[in-house]
Copies of this chain bind each other. A is one copy, B any other.
């Protein structure tokens, strides 16, 4: 492709709203453009990368036996009403009415639609298991779209759904998809980690997220420094054994005294469904609301903004296990006490793991110590179970002829977000640095001075001879060398071939974008040199 007629508008400066590297560089290098908040166009370079990512995903899923289909973005409201999610989803679900006033949603996800598709069709255990997937555009009206493609309102997802006649079948599909995801993200050259995650409002059981490690990630991963253990901090269990000190228990008393944080007891009052619950954690720990939700098996948990006197509190009191070991602790605030010995002084109904894990905690699997990293969620695998098939009446006949709800799994990859994650992990101060698997072109052919006949003749000749073997972007523009090099660094193709002053001697310069190394190559050896370098980089 000749760059003089290529639609690749580059910018000298970062766009004002771009806070992170991938967003800045993808816009500046002309891969994407914003059309509205959280809504983007993929320009030719960006579209090329997107297609390559999709190819990698498609290849691995097809090999895993998944079947591609394509569902619509517009979905009838009735389907969402069947599962109750029409009401549960807030303004994030984009809604519209057709000319007859009938309500529709723009699909934020496709559990309802696919369940409606299969419910009259997958009717026998003999047809199972089946895994269906699509690569398709999704809509979520994020409250705060940001970070370019990382948190958009219109974005591209690969979503897969599997259907089974038994839990064992689901387990197998889940494992296979887990393995397939690892293959996909490895092929894409990503530094990633599968982590244990929370099943959240979607319902279901086992779930893991695939996280691309990155300092700009919106999720924190807790992982072991000496094992494979990794979990979203929301989900990491805390397995610390606390021993109470031998310290003599002093008499319980009103009023605040100064103590270290690990001697303080912090209280949070929550309305759990209709019950008031006071949750205690140690002052140096942080309450993890999700653990409270999971303890009570409900999403209806509201933190109350009130202080209570624990001696007068009418609801249930529960505490994190660390609280049990506090000797002569203190409660601060409006209803302060000191010399608190929880088992003696407070009516604690149960001690549970209720706090966030911290760096330095022992790893829950018993191996090593927990450290934190930031991650971008690029994929998720999920055992849905029968939540959707039950409410939507999607049943199959088992071997005994009995009707049972289909057992389901679902598996997502944020395709456009993966593009951003790759950019985020593969960039330096000068621009992007595409891995071979997804680079829009392999070779950037640059003529230093197109007005020099030697240079421009040789460049044309090289372009003609190289373009059948390699994907070549040819900078034939009448721009200054400095502008061309800046753009080339920004765009970040793996190999650069520069035709300059030594064109009349038949010598060009070949430079690697990743290491910055450059060598002079006689044009007769150019093709083989490029071949070799590309193999080395693979």
Contact = CB atoms under 8 A, between A and B. Distances in A.
Nearest to A30: B121
Given A104-B36, A127-B5, A72 B117 contact: no
Given A74-B154, A91-B99, A126-B478, A9 B121 contact: yes
A291 to B, nearest CB: 30
Contacts of A99: 91-92, 141, 143
A294 interface: no
A532 interface: no
A131 to B, nearest CB: 9
Contact of A68 (B35, B44, B70, B127): B44
A6 to B, nearest CB: 7
Interface string A115-141: 011101110001111101010010101
B98 A70 contact: no
Interface residues of A, number: 61
A5 B125 CA distance: 10
Contacts of A130: 5, 7
A39 B74 contact: yes
Contacts of A70: 41-42, 46-47, 50
Contacts of A46: 69-70
Contacts of A304: none
Contact of A73 (B98, B129, B154): B154
A264 B48 CA distance: 63
A39 B72 contact: yes
A17 to B, nearest CB: 16
Contacts of A88: none
A113 interface: yes
A180 interface: no
Interface of A: 1, 4-7, 9, 33, 35-36, 39-44, 46-48, 50-51, 65, 67-76, 91-92, 94-96, 98-99, 104, 106, 113, 116-118, 120-122, 126-130, 132, 134, 137, 139, 141, 143, 153-154, 478
Q: Give 4 closest A-B pairs by Cβ, nearest first.
A: A96-B96, A9-B121, A91-B99, A42-B70
